[in-house]
Amino acid sequence: MNNFYPTERMALFIDGANLYAAAKALGFDIDYKRLLNLFRNKGLLLRALYYTALVEEQEYSSIRPLVDWLDYNGYSMVTKPVKEFTDGSGRRKLKGNMDIELAVDAMQLADQLDHIVLFSGDGDFRSLVEALQQKGKRVSVVSTLATQPPMVSDELRRQGDHFIDLSDLQKEICRTQRPESGRDYQAHLHEQSLHARISSPAAIPETQEAD
């Protein structure tokens, strides 16, 4: 975390399902308040965008805790419905890829930023990172090599200007206790339920399905 400068304009782009899968593989839950405060102390944090797909059959009231909580605590939620399809074996599967939305937003906001922090290990983002670098932006990639298999693709890790292993941030961003408020706890439970349904195997870089 030594590659951050106090005066640089920064934004976080969080691939929600991918980050959830990485933290789960490392055996901890993320405290999103602590995560936001960590990066607020590293530079001029302009935006923190959180991308996640939502299962269509869920009642609106069931997704509201997560959406409200993240929005109330400094995040911008970017969502779309999960697509359901049947594979060649007749099995129902869910697809919740947010790559296009994240990439478009990153390119649109790039001129206002000096440093982009990408929370994902998906190798499909390598081209995005390269395009941002060609615009003169620095890009840090946050994922982990500390799992078997690693949650970050090698090409994405090498393309970034800096790689931050999520395991190195664990002490600073992990949830150490049950959230104090009911709304915090509902949001935490919904995040677990939602991403557990759409992040496997889609969150693993080598097998992620494209739109």
pLDDT digits (tens, 9 = 90+) for 117-156: 999 999 999 999 999 999 999 999 999 999 999 999 999 9
Residue keyed to tokens 């939602």: 194
Query: pLDDT at position 68, please?
Result: 77
Range 176-190 burial, b when 16+ CB lie within 10 A, else e = eeebeeeebebbbeb
52 against 169, higher pLDDT: 169
What are residue 143's phi and psi, to 5 degrees?
A: -160, -150
Query: pLDDT at position 79, please?
Result: 86
Percent of the chain exceeding pLDDT 90 equals 59
CB 32 within 8 A of CB 70: yes
Query: pLDDT at position 201, please?
Result: 40
Query: pLDDT at position 91, please?
Result: 74
CB 102 within 8 A of CB 51: yes
Query: pLDDT at position 208, please?
Result: 38
Structure tokens at 50: 């959180």
Query: pLDDT at position 194, please?
Result: 56
Measured torsion, CA atoms of residues 67, 96, 201, 191, in degrees rounded to the nearest 10: 10
Domain with residue 28: its CATH number is 3.40.50.1010
Residue 76 within a domain: yes
Sign, Cα dihedral of 199, 154, 15, 131: negative
Angstrom distance (rounded) from CA 170 to CA 174: 5
DSSP conformation class of 125: G
Residue 1 within a domain: no
Q: Which of 59-63, 99-103, 109-113, 150-154 has the lowest mean pLDDT?
A: 59-63
Under 8 Å CB-to-CB from 164, ≥6 apart: which residues?
Answer: 1, 117, 140, 141, 142
In the chain, the amino acid numbered 99 is D
* Averaged pLDDT, 92-121: 90
54 against 21, higher pLDDT: 21
Q: What is the pTM of this model?
A: 0.81
Q: Which helix (H) or strand (E) holds 172?
A: helix 166-173
Three-state SS for 197? helix
203 against 24, higher pLDDT: 24
**pLDDT tier at 90 (50, 70, 90 boundaries)?**
confident
Angstrom distance (rounded) from CA 198 to CA 200: 6
Residue 160 within a domain: yes
Tens of pLDDT along 145-190? Answer: 999 999 999 999 999 999 999 999 999 999 886 555 545 544 555 5
Residue 178 within a domain: yes
| Parallel, antiparallel or unpaired: strands 76-81 and 44-54 | parallel
Owning domain of residue 13: 9-207
Three-state SS for 9? strand
20 against 12, higher pLDDT: 12
Q: How many domains does the chain have?
A: 1
